[in-house]
Structure 1
Amino acid sequence: MKVTFFSDDLSSNSLGRVYCLWRLADALGWDASVISPRGEEVWGPLRDTPFARACHRLAADTKPSHDEMGDPDLLIAVKPLPSSFLPAWEWSRALGIPLLVDIDDPDLEMQFSWERPIRRLGRILLRARGLRGSRVVRKRLVGVPRFVSNPWLQSRYGGTLLPHVRDDRGPGAAHASTQPRIAFVGTNQQHKGVSILRQAVAELAPEGFRLIVTDAPPADAAPHEEWVGRTSMEEGLSLVSGSDIVVIPSLDAVHARGQLPVKLIDAMMLGRAIVVTDVDPLPWAIGSGGVVIRAGSVSELVHALRSLSDPSKRARLGRSARSIAIARYTIGENRRAFEAACRAAVGVRADG
């Protein structure tokens, strides 16, 4: 089968989800390519991978054609956004190519949320066109088969559950230190809760705890903190592998609910001790393989981290996390579900 993925932006971190889907198609021996109307170059962590060679940017005036699409049997729009789903929907109709959509983030919830009314008013005034586009997306999503990355999204959109996938590279470094190295690996955005993590580690720094973050150093960077900037995929995996504890300190905010960070999957695969907040779907994702705390609570995070200073406890949790990851997040475990949904969608076209 030939599959073309229509991405929102080749240069954004949303390409990480495209990569997961591409890996599943590649594992099936399918001919898979990625197209996008945006992004001057492939997102940094994936730039030097075989996947990058399958990515192609469309010219601004590109018209729908089988040649531009790679003449696929199936078109998969990644993210229900006006910039990806709507052109994919139009191309699907124009060329008679079956369409499937992948939903891995609460993108529409972020557009329409009343959680921050002042911000929403700004969107209404400054981005009315974008909001209209999101309403059109909601209308045209009806009847389009879909993947979702976690149960939180599945409860809202239905579809086939297809979590992020990773290769099993084996466990990471042995748990031995009583002065843990804590890692936050990913894109540092406000809803990710890095400020809470920094406060907690600052309290524990006199006990030898250290923190590493994949971002440029802020003006108030502390001596116990190491800021390494943006990393490649391989560099990020190496940081996770060598860490003692990985923390996903997501805040209870509309941008965080429904998100399944792929670095959580990496940490589980590598057998790290993991702390997550109680923001869905994180507790589902980690299961019994980690510690769950209340979102935004510095005191609970301090307590959880201090309890993980014991290497034997970290090792036990790491083994549990790794066992769950192998059973749930490998390419082999998800390949059949991906194949079945794609083959079913080949007979289904968006209409309306």
Structure 2
Amino acid sequence: MLISVVSPDLSHNCLGRAYVLAQLIEQNYDVEIVGPKLKGTVWEPIKDEYEYKGVETGSRVYQFPFAVPSLLDRISGDLVYVSKPRTTSYGLGLLATIGRDRPLILDIDDWETGFSYRHGRLETVLKGVPRLASMNSYYYKRFLEALSGVADARSVSNHFLQDRFSGTLVPHAKDTEKLDPSRF
């Protein structure tokens, strides 16, 4: 069985969570890591760990949709395991599994919309409107968090998220030598 792990961005540290999931999965199954490269390159600390199946694109609404067909072609797993409820990962996962006999698992390792509330909800809502040009803006993440129950299963990184979204607990685990910031 091949499992496709979909990262929201292969060129950012959010690839770290997809990498951890892939390491756990590859103990029992074949695994591939797929996702957009929003900054053009694979995230430096783990760039040589896998043959990443990525597509260079931007996160704007006038860029990312054009990369979707190529990204969907790269998702070849019998099961799709997406990291984060973002358009560039969960949105892809939904498209890759709809009408197909492929289960979809959503991993939630952060409260995506919660990060936006640091200045208050009203300011977040008002400032969010101009940011709709980004496929990973507050409104898209909020919509996809609301759709988290559509996934066949969920995993979460901590008890707060487990209480909020339910799901199996898969704590964060990082190789602190490989990901030592002083090396990069």
Calculate the TM-score normalised by the size of structure 2. 0.77
In structure 1, C-alpha distance between the alignment counterparts of 2:21 and 2:6, rounded to whole Å: 11
Q: CA deviation at 1:31?
A: 1.0
Confirm or deny that 1:3 pairs with 2:37. no
Confirm or deny that 1:126 pairs with 2:130. yes
Q: CA deviation at 1:24?
A: 0.6
Q: CA deviation at 1:110?
A: 2.3
Alignment correspondent of 2:21: 21
Alignment correspondent of 1:138: 145
Give aligned pairs, total. Answer: 169
Alignment correspondent of 2:42: 42
Q: CA deviation at 1:158?
A: 0.8
In structure 2, C-alpha distance between the alignment counterparts of 1:64 and 1:98, rounded to whole Å: 20
Asked if structure 1 preserves the Cα contact closer than 8 Å seen for 2:72 and 2:96, the reply is no
Superposition map of 1:323-342 within 5 A: none
Within the candidate set 76, 83, 90, 1:85 is matched to 90
Within the candidate set 100, 112, 128, 1:107 is matched to 112
Larger Rg: 1
**Partner letter of residue 63 of structure 1?**
P
Q: CA deviation at 1:9?
A: 0.4
Q: CA deviation at 1:96?
A: 3.3
In structure 2, C-alpha distance between the alignment counterparts of 1:14 and 1:163, rounded to whole Å: 15
Alignment correspondent of 1:242: none
Q: CA deviation at 1:42?
A: 1.4
Alignment correspondent of 1:97: 102
In structure 2, C-alpha distance between the alignment counterparts of 1:143 and 1:35, rounded to whole Å: 21
Asked if structure 2 preserves the Cα contact closer than 8 Å seen for 1:104 and 1:153, the reply is yes
Alignment correspondent of 2:63: none
Q: CA deviation at 1:117?
A: 5.0
- Segments of 5+ residues of structure 2 without an aligned counterpart are 57-65
Higher RCO (CA-CA < 8 Å; seq separation 6+): 2
Asked if structure 2 preserves the Cα contact closer than 8 Å seen for 1:4 and 1:32, the reply is yes
Asked if structure 1 preserves the Cα contact closer than 8 Å seen for 2:11 and 2:43, the reply is yes
Calculate the TM-score normalised by the size of structure 1. 0.43
The alpha-carbon distance between structure 1 residues 87 and 31, as it changes in their structure 2 partners (threshold 3 A), is same
- Segments of 5+ residues of structure 1 without an aligned counterpart are 168-184, 186-232, 240-352
In structure 2, C-alpha distance between the alignment counterparts of 1:81 and 1:20, rounded to whole Å: 18
The alpha-carbon distance between structure 1 residues 116 and 126, as it changes in their structure 2 partners (threshold 3 A), is same
Task: Classify the secondary structure of the residue corresponding to 1:5.
Answer: strand
In structure 2, C-alpha distance between the alignment counterparts of 1:65 and 1:11, rounded to whole Å: 15
Confirm or deny that 1:147 pairs with 2:155. yes
**Partner letter of residue 75 of structure 2?**
M
Task: Classify the secondary structure of the residue corresponding to 1:147.
Answer: strand
In structure 1, C-alpha distance between the alignment counterparts of 2:87 and 2:67, rounded to whole Å: 17
In structure 2, C-alpha distance between the alignment counterparts of 1:121 and 1:10, rounded to whole Å: 28
The alpha-carbon distance between structure 1 residues 62 and 81, as it changes in their structure 2 partners (threshold 3 A), is closer
In structure 1, C-alpha distance between the alignment counterparts of 2:53 and 2:9, rounded to whole Å: 11
In structure 2, C-alpha distance between the alignment counterparts of 1:42 and 1:16, rounded to whole Å: 11
Alignment correspondent of 1:253: none
